[in-house]
Amino acid sequence: MGYTIPQGKELRIAISGKSGCGNTTVSTLIAQLLGVKLINFTFRQLAAEKGLTLAQVIENAKTDDSYDIAVDTRQVELARQESCVLGSRLAIWMLKEADLKVYLLADDEVRAKRILNREGGSLEEIRNFTAMRDSEDTRRYKKLYGIDNNDFEFADIKIDTAAYAPEQIAELVLQELEKRGLVKKA
């Protein structure tokens, strides 16, 4: 059973969470299920565009705000053009007009194991890198935008992704959209 956006309406869903929480997976699923554009432009894509590694972009961003500003500005500009799912670290803060703001969370160990499964390497190195990245992200977001990415209480729904499969999380989001009259069952 699918869902559709009512005729003549636009829908913007913002999904945020830290690395390894399932943002990309869940955002992709929801965009596919609704037939809308997925916007997930991140440091990873910026690194690919610039011919750099993710670690290099993160390191450069420590002293050069243009990396964050480029990613964050591009995402919001794209999201404002059409119905979409915007999946990013700052989506729920940056896309203020989002119809639904979803925050995905998982404890540090779950996140590290997911990143290990996705990227390989050593669990200890991933734990350390992820902790550094979380800390660096928080510092930059406060400095650049006055945003505390550890304060997500205002999100419309918060989901612990360790408790559900990605398809179940997508279904929870779709049910919330239906409850709010933003989508209807097809």
Structural domain count, the chain: 1
In sequence order, which residues have a C-beta less than 8 Å from that of residue 85 and are 6 or more positions away?
Answer: 13, 15, 27, 28, 30, 31, 34, 36, 37, 38, 39
Q: What is the pLDDT of residues 43-68, one digit of tens each?
A: 888 999 999 999 999 899 889 999 98
CATH of the domain at 75: 3.40.50.300
Q: Is 120 left (phi over 0), alpha (psi -120 to 50) or beta?
A: left
Structure tokens at 16: 């945020």
Query: Would you say residue 2 lies in a domain?
Result: no
Query: Would you say residue 1 lies in a domain?
Result: no
Share of the chain above pLDDT 70, in %: 99
Q: List the chain pLDDT tens, one digit each, 186 residues.
A: 689 999 999 999 999 999 999 999 999 999 999 999 999 888 888 999 999 999 999 899 889 999 989 999 989 999 999 999 999 999 999 999 999 999 999 999 999 999 999 989 999 999 999 999 899 889 989 999 999 999 999 999 999 999 999 999 999 999 999 999 999 988
Q: What is the span of the domain harbouring residue 129?
A: 11-185
Query: Would you say residue 128 lies in a domain?
Result: yes
Query: Would you say residue 3 lies in a domain?
Result: no
Query: Would you say residue 174 lies in a domain?
Result: yes
Query: Would you say residue 5 lies in a domain?
Result: no
Q: What is the pLDDT of residues 64-90, one digit of tens each?
A: 999 989 999 989 999 999 999 999 999
Query: Would you say residue 43 lies in a domain?
Result: yes
Contact 7, 55 (CB under 8 A): no
Residue with tokens 């990143």: 115
Query: Would you say residue 95 lies in a domain?
Result: yes
